[in-house]
Amino acid sequence: MRIHCLSTQLANQIAAGEVVERPASVVKELLENSLDAGAGEVTIDIEQGGLRLIRVTDDGGGIHKDDLQLALSRHATSKLSELDELSRIATLGFRGEALPSIVSVARLSLSSREAGADAAWRIDNDSQGNLGEPVPAAHPPGTTLEVRDLFFNVPARRKFLRSDRTEFGHIEEVFRRIAMSRFEIAFRLNHNKRVVYTLRPDAGDGAARVAELCGGEFIEHSLAIAGEAGGLRLRGWIGLPTHSRGQADLQYFYVNGRVIRDRLVSHAVRQAYRDVLFQGRHPTYVLFLDMPPEEVDVNVHPTKHEVRFRESRLVYDFLFHTLHRALAQDRPGARGEDTAPASDFGIAARPLPAAPAYPSTPRDRQPSFPFRTAEPAPQNFYAVLDAAVAEAAAAPVSVADGAVAPPAGFLGHALAQIHGVYILAENTEGLVLVDMHAAHERIVYERMKATHHQGGVRTQPLLVPLTINLAAREAELVEDNQELFAELGLEVRRIAPEVVVVRAIPSLLCEADVEKLVRDIVADINVHGDSTRVREHLDDMFATMACHGAVRANRRLTLPEMDALLRDMDRTERSGQCNHGRPTWVQLDMKELDRLFMRGR
């Protein structure tokens, strides 16, 4: 066949296949044009899920009469003129492909009036996509774009669209994403002449806008963050681990005001939640990253949903450490009770250390041990709490009118133990229930990580060395990973083809089932492979060890021991969740207690 040029109509329809996937794609492009035009108020009217009508009206700068035809031509834009500008794009649109692509698959009418102009002008296209001449129109300053009968001339594309309800659901999602990018702009969304959203400008931090679009529960159960370092600035909200979701459907990330989906970002966020999120759950967040435009390339995808960072490792490290530090603040008293509004704490600008080398694909930890055992623990309490017990016992407790006041600390004063599993405590807000195993597991885990980072896990020799029979392959793993076992605070030696001997264990785990602990660590090493990959999952192994060292169910504690555990929770980072993402405590305030007993009714 001979080579020939495509017709303008066919070329535009092919381009439309990249830009205009469904009605929501049209809404996205038109909304971005309105924002780039400096609009302060935008109204979107939708009929039949966008198939019959999409109308976007704004009060932006408007379009000059002589530019109306040009605005609907391919590769025509007011946002880019020189090659150098391509490396520092600050607008949402710049390719000049959206409007001509829409023109080729729909009936379009463009009305616009520049600020200060005497009259408005309108331009329409015919069924072949040809543009008419501008004609006078009645229109206030700003622009209105009407898109009717989408894909009327491409029936093959139209039949792949879903129901009106489904298509409007996609439009709502696009609306939410864009409305959260500009808190200072008013938005209105109507469907079939029914008002769906009316969003007033938010002059504050945007929390009211986010609550309206994502639900008040998200804001109530989130942490407000702000961090800055190395020319990067991160702000927004991250959901508490205890309020994660089964789907990744409440995750919004913006780079310089542009909503994006990026694997590097998703992985950094996931790793920040790594040891506080329950298996199979997804974190929630609305985050805004501001950075120099020349440090990010937004011209890598026709829909501009993906970006490329010039210094991707720097961005990864910044996101990981900022969110990791923020989540570390989630402990009793650091953010108030679990239903309190998100606290707003800042993260001071300071040099960020390099993030650990995580695998390219996150692996959710799957415990290879029973989470809780009914076996009674030894009668003496774990040595890790000895100092805290003494501190709690010495804490001053004031008595007034026969009432015992809770000691210092958000979780208050222990009252009793329930079925050997939960601690009942009283604080200034009301009653607190604590899962003692989950809480102590987090405390031991954080202490093991801290001592490891400070130079190694402290060990304690066994009075009588413990001999363990293993399979030959398992004993070989022990022999090949001596340095790793030492790093974990375990002295284990192979003394026969299928026998190892344990001579020392971490001092934090003096009451643990040593044989089971060693078997679980050998199993972890077998799963992770070589020592390099094992070190990438070192925190997972500390979590395994912490579970062995945590106080078990049915272990009866004295009141000083329970108070010691509460004080450790007050001080320990991330103590709001255990290592597997389960909550460690629940607050019942006086209002909830009064409601249970119908007091005041």
Q: For strand 344-347 and strand 222-229, is the pairing parallel, antiparallel, or unpaired? A: parallel
CA distance 346 to 348: 6
Helix, strand or coil for residue 342? coil
Checking if the pLDDT of 235 tops 90, the result is yes
DSSP class per residue in 148-166: ESTTTT-HHHHTT---HHH
Q: Alpha-carbon distance 447 to 597, whole Å?
A: 41
**How many other C-beta atoms can be found within 10 angstroms of the C-beta atom of residue 148?**
15
Is it the case that residue 285 has pLDDT exceeding 80? yes
Edge-to-edge strands of the sheet including 120-124? 135-137, 120-124, 107-113, 142-148, 53-58, 41-47, 186-191, 194-199
Q: Please state whether 242 falls in left (phi above 0), alpha (psi between -120 and 50) or beta.
A: alpha
Token pair listed for 247: 């789907």
pLDDT tens-place string over residues 24-59: 999 999 999 999 999 999 999 999 999 999 999 999
Q: What is the rounded distance in angstroms from the CA atom of residue 503 to the CA atom of residue 495?
A: 12
- Looking at per-residue pLDDT, the higher value among 578 and 528 belongs to 578
pLDDT at 155: 86
Q: How many CB atoms sit inside 10 A of residue 582's CB?
A: 17
The pLDDT score that the predictor gives to residue 100 is: 84
**157-180 mean pLDDT:** 94
Query: Measured between alpha carbons, how far is 260 from 136 in angstroms, rounded to an integer?
Result: 39
Residue 560 · residue 385 · CB < 8 Å: no
Q: In DSSP terms, which residues pair with 42 in a beta bridge?
A: 58, 187
Tokens of 154: 């491409």
What band does 543 get if pLDDT is binned at 50, 70 and 90?
A: confident
- Dig out the tokens for 249 from the structure: 């459907």
**Quick one: which of 503, 492, 489, 485 has its CA closest to 457?**
489
> 179 CB contacts (<8 Å, ≥6 apart)?
185, 187, 197, 199, 209, 213
Name which residue leads in pLDDT, 492 or 242: 492
Q: What is the enclosing helix (H) or strand (E) of 435? A: strand 430-435
Rounded mean pLDDT, 478-483: 90
Task: Please state, in angstroms and rounded to a whole number, the distance separating the CA atoms of residues 326 and 29.
Answer: 35
* Residues 521, 482 contacting (CB under 8 angstroms): no
What is the mean pLDDT of the segment spanning 181-207?
95
164-179 vs 207-214: helix crossing angle, rounded to 10: 170
Look at 45-59, 65-79, 162-176, 397-411 and tell me which has the smallest mean pLDDT.
Answer: 397-411
Angle between helix 559-571 and helix 386-394 axes, rounded to 10 deg:
100
Find how far residue 328's CA is from the centre of its chain.
Answer: 15
DSSP letter at 356 equals: P
Q: What angle do CA 267, 268, 270 make, to 5 degrees?
A: 60
Q: Compare 351 and 477 and report the one with higher pLDDT.
A: 477
State how far the Cα of 550 lies from the Cα of 505, in Å rounded to an integer. 15
Give the mean pLDDT of 313-329.
92
Q: Bigger pLDDT: 264 or 396?
A: 264
**What SS3 class is residue 446?**
helix
Per-residue pLDDT for 370 more than 80?
Answer: no
Summarize pLDDT for 371-415 with one digit per residue, the tens: 222 333 333 334 444 444 444 444 444 433 444 444 457 899 999
Close Cβ partners of 97 (under 8 Å, ≥ 6 residues apart): 15, 19, 74, 75, 302
φ/ψ of 145, rounded to 5, equals -120, 120
| Averaged pLDDT, 223-228 | 93
Q: Which residues have C-beta within 8 Å of that of residue 258, sequence separation ≥ 6?
A: 92, 181, 298, 304, 307
3-state per-residue secondary structure call for 217-253: HHHHCEEEEEEEECCEEEEEEEECHHHCECCCCCEEE
CA distance linking residue 264 with residue 54, whole number of Å = 34
Q: Per-residue b/e over 384-398, b at no fewer than 16 CB within 10 Å?
A: bbeebbebbeebeee
User: Over 70: is that where the pLDDT of 452 sits?
Assistant: yes
Q: Is 497 helix (H, G, I), strand (E, B) or coil?
A: coil
- Phi, psi for 82 (deg, rounded to 5): -115, 155
As a whole number of angstroms, the distance between CA 500 and CA 469 comes to 7
Phi and psi at residue 341, to the nearest 5°:
-60, 155
Strand-strand pairing, 251-255 and 403-404: unpaired
pLDDT band, very low/low/confident/very high, at 358 (cuts 50, 70, 90): very low
Q: What is the largest CA-CA distance in the chain?
A: 101
Question: Mean pLDDT over all residues of the chain?
Answer: 81
